Chains A and B, each alone.
Chain A
Amino acid sequence: MADTPLLQVEDLAVHFRLPLPVAERAMGRKPKVLKAVDGVSFAIGKGVTLSVVGESGCGKSTVARLIAGLYRPTRGRVAIDGHDVTAARDRTRAIRRRLTMIFQDPQASLNPRWRVRDIIAEPIRAFGIAGDARETSRQVDGLLEQVGLAGADGEKYPHEFSGGQRQRISIARALASKPDLILCDEPTSALDVSVQAQILNLMRDLQDELGLTYLFISHDLAVVHHMSDRIAVMYLGRFVEVAEAAALFASPQHPYTRLLLETIPDLGMTKRDREAVAGEVPSPIDPPGGCAFHPRCPHADERCRTERPDLRPSQSGAGGGAVACHAVEEGRLPPAPAGEAADG
């Protein structure tokens, strides 16, 4: 571990106030509050991939957006390479250059009226990275080739490309400002598997080449397993488990992590019957008290219903794992199901 992690997040939270109908406001009702992210802490060292997994509505994309500065956090602190950037005014150009984002839908995140060349050149111009127009153009060509496109593709418009190629353009744009940290919000969820494999391979190659750090947001555990060094499992605005990737899959601790691992359809499980866990993710507007997972948890007891568990280092914490679960802490959880063999 380096002395200063590249990205450090402490107790980050954002609460959205939901608009209330006029009648209810007149009656003096308090607006409801949606706690999209409610106290999340983590750090990512340089060159490492941390993934955040969870089901829709758990707040994983909001975490990425908070770090990107797209929302103002209600509380907490974000630091990049030791510089506090929680407040917008602290996000200097020098800092903003170092952090970029790749979105899920390249169709929506690329301007349809701009040529690809201009889309990729924009960060270069905005941050004054290239001296002149010719240097800008040279860098754009270099970026296009780096992501597996040809320099001539720069003259085209986004709609002339397939989904996978468009995501390559997004990646080229994200690389244009020579960032250290890339926030990847479901970068392959809109793609077909064979194209997904190309993009995932490209992202890993770029990481090796440029020493990039990724915060990888995904709902797909298999993809996350493939990409990550560390994984954080998120449920209703909070991390419930954080662990090294291999450790998480080999011995999942939190009951929710176990449920997720249990439910992903996998190629190896032909015609297998399994116990689907009942229940659904509750609404984050009115989350259950105590541990948010208790209504679905087979191991919940009185304490789980009333007291919210904090993320604590797990005793089997070989990989520096941490779990937020009373049952794990008290040791009343059955040992983790024999997971797939951990591989080095």
Chain B
Amino acid sequence: MNGGAARALLDVRDLKVGLPTRRGPLAILNGVDLHVKEGEVLGVVGESGAGKSITGLAVIGLLEPPARIDGGEVWFDGARIDGLSGDELRRIRGARIGVIFQDPLTSLNPLYTIGFQLTETIRTHMDLGADAAEKRAVELLDEVGIPAAASRLGAYPHEFSGGMRQRVVIALALCANPRLIIADEPTTALDVSIQAQIIGVLKRLCREHGTAVMLITHDMGVIAETADRVAVMYAGRVIEDGTVAEVVRNASHPYSHGLMGSIPTIGARIGRLPQIRGSMPRVGAVPAGCAFAPRCPEVRDLCRAERPVMMDGKATSAACWQYSPRWSDTAAAAGGAAADG
């Protein structure tokens, strides 16, 4: 899939993350393939437990032990970054890859002022004196839309509202002009009107700075408005990859299709929402073959036997046997999950 990968800034190949347990390793990620091009916004969606946050953490080497990378490769800007030492990774994190987490309070130290945290980060990654760093901190706060930025440098995180704190976190992530920002549910803790502001800030800044973004969220609405391309995750794998418009309107994989359909939208009021039966398999209980097979309305014998790789679907690529030449040879399974309607 990434054969030619013209200029993938981030390239994740067959990434596997496992959790060693007494009963043997538990696979959390079962081979994730995705890439982010320069200046592009890639949305990573999926329901809870699909492995989207773990993917983000694995890329920047912040996996919580005992979880560990069990296989695959992570390439950033032409160099392999999985397996780097803590020190080497620290030099990449912050300087070349910025991170934004869901809860701004966990990313900010409550005991230090905003100004101190910004200048400290700036001086860690850039060769600047105290005054220049402070000037840059004010510029950054200004850019993310904090009013009277210069006078807020002495304020502590608790003095800011949730939306303002998330703006500070964005400023922190942008400190050293990173090439890529990994944003993990950056607006989930915020109210809708504030969410719109934060998305606006993130979009504007990344466009201006040419920063690529890997936007991890469960909220398709946010992705639809922000991302260029979407990777849909299910049970520890990427099962569909395509442009936003195609994935939303013309998804190839039955799961993405069902997921898009089950989201209530304004405008089309329908009697019942189309629903996908059942729920995602738990980690460690992922069936052999296609992980979605037990819930899939199209399931055939082949799906239960072998796991599909990414193939060209309608207008996106999808890990679904329907798009394989072998599909017509396999019989429709009797007693497949019926479509709920």
Evaluate contact between A340 and B195: CB separation under 8 angstroms: no
Evaluate contact between A269 and B224: CB separation under 8 angstroms: yes
Evaluate contact between A268 and B276: CB separation under 8 angstroms: no
Complex-state Cα separation, A273 to B267, whole angstroms: 19
Which residues 181-197 in B have Cβ within 8 Å of A in the complex?
A: 191-197
Evaluate contact between B220 and A269: CB separation under 8 angstroms: no
Residues of chain B within 8 A of A276, CB atoms compared: 193, 196-197, 199-200
A272 to chain B, nearest CB (A): 6
Which residues 243-275 in A have Cβ within 8 Å of B in the complex?
A: 245-246, 249, 259-274
B253 to chain A, nearest CB (A): 13
Residues of chain B within 8 A of A249, CB atoms compared: 266-267
Evaluate contact between A280 and B192: CB separation under 8 angstroms: no
Complex-state Cα separation, A260 to B220, whole angstroms: 18
Evaluate contact between A56 and B276: CB separation under 8 angstroms: no
Q: Is B304 an interface residue (CB 8 A)?
A: no
Which residues 7-60 in A have Cβ within 8 Å of B in the complex?
A: 55-56
Which residues 96-122 in B have Cβ within 8 Å of A in the complex?
A: none
Given contacts A226-B269, A265-B195, contact A193 B224 (CB under 8 A): no
Complex-state Cα separation, A192 to B226, whole angstroms: 20
Q: Closest chain B residue to A199 by CB distance?
A: B275
Q: Closest chain A residue to B271 by CB distance?
A: A204
Q: Is B306 an interface residue (CB 8 A)?
A: no
Evaluate contact between A219 and B191: CB separation under 8 angstroms: yes
Evaluate contact between A204 and B272: CB separation under 8 angstroms: yes
A342 to chain B, nearest CB (A): 9
* A55 contact from B191, B200, B219, B275, Cβ within 8 A: B191
Complex-state Cα separation, A194 to B49, whole angstroms: 13
Q: Is A201 an interface residue (CB 8 A)?
A: yes
Evaluate contact between B193 and A259: CB separation under 8 angstroms: yes
**B204-247 interface mask toward A, CB cutoff 8 Å, 1 = contact, 0 = none?**
00000000000000111110111110000000000000001100
Q: Is B180 an interface residue (CB 8 A)?
A: no
Evaluate contact between B191 and A340: CB separation under 8 angstroms: no
Given contacts A197-B273, A265-B222, contact A280 B161 (CB under 8 A): yes
Task: Select the residue from A197, A261, A263 with max chain B CB neighbours within 10 A.
Answer: A197
Range for the number of chain A residues in contact with chain B = 35 or more
Evaluate contact between A278 and B197: CB separation under 8 angstroms: yes
Q: Is B151 an interface residue (CB 8 A)?
A: no
Q: Is B298 an interface residue (CB 8 A)?
A: no
* B221 contact from A194, A219, A264, A280, Cβ within 8 A: A264
B66 to chain A, nearest CB (A): 23
A204 to chain B, nearest CB (A): 7
Which segment of B57-65, B78-86, B125-133, B254-262 sits at the interface?
B254-262
Evaluate contact between A56 and B275: CB separation under 8 angstroms: no
Q: Is A281 an interface residue (CB 8 A)?
A: yes
Residues of chain A within 8 A of B264, CB atoms compared: 197, 200, 222-223, 225-226
A340 to chain B, nearest CB (A): 4
Evaluate contact between A268 and B47: CB separation under 8 angstroms: no
Given contacts A162-B279, A219-B191, contact A193 B267 (CB under 8 A): no
Residues of chain B within 8 A of A265, CB atoms compared: 192, 195-196, 199, 219, 221-222, 224-225
Evaluate contact between A270 and B248: CB separation under 8 angstroms: yes
Evaluate contact between B191 and A193: CB separation under 8 angstroms: no
Q: Is A66 an interface residue (CB 8 A)?
A: no
* A267 contact from B248, B269, B274, B276, Cβ within 8 A: B248
Q: Is B265 an interface residue (CB 8 A)?
A: yes
* B228 contact from A197, A245, A260, A271, Cβ within 8 A: A271
Q: Which 3 A-B pairs have the closest CB atoms?
A: A265-B221, A340-B267, A197-B262
Seed contacts A162-B279, A280-B194, A281-B191; 13 additional CB < 8 Å A-B pairs: A55-B192, A192-B279, A194-B47, A197-B274, A204-B271, A221-B266, A222-B266, A262-B196, A265-B192, A265-B219, A267-B265, A269-B225, A271-B224
B-side residues, CB < 8 A to A, are 47-48, 161, 163-164, 191-197, 199-200, 203, 218-222, 224-228, 244-245, 248, 258-260, 262-276, 279-280
20 contacts between A and B (CB under 8 A): A162-B279, A165-B279, A194-B259, A197-B262, A197-B273, A197-B276, A204-B272, A222-B263, A261-B266, A262-B196, A263-B196, A265-B195, A267-B220, A267-B221, A267-B265, A269-B224, A270-B244, A274-B196, A277-B197, A340-B266
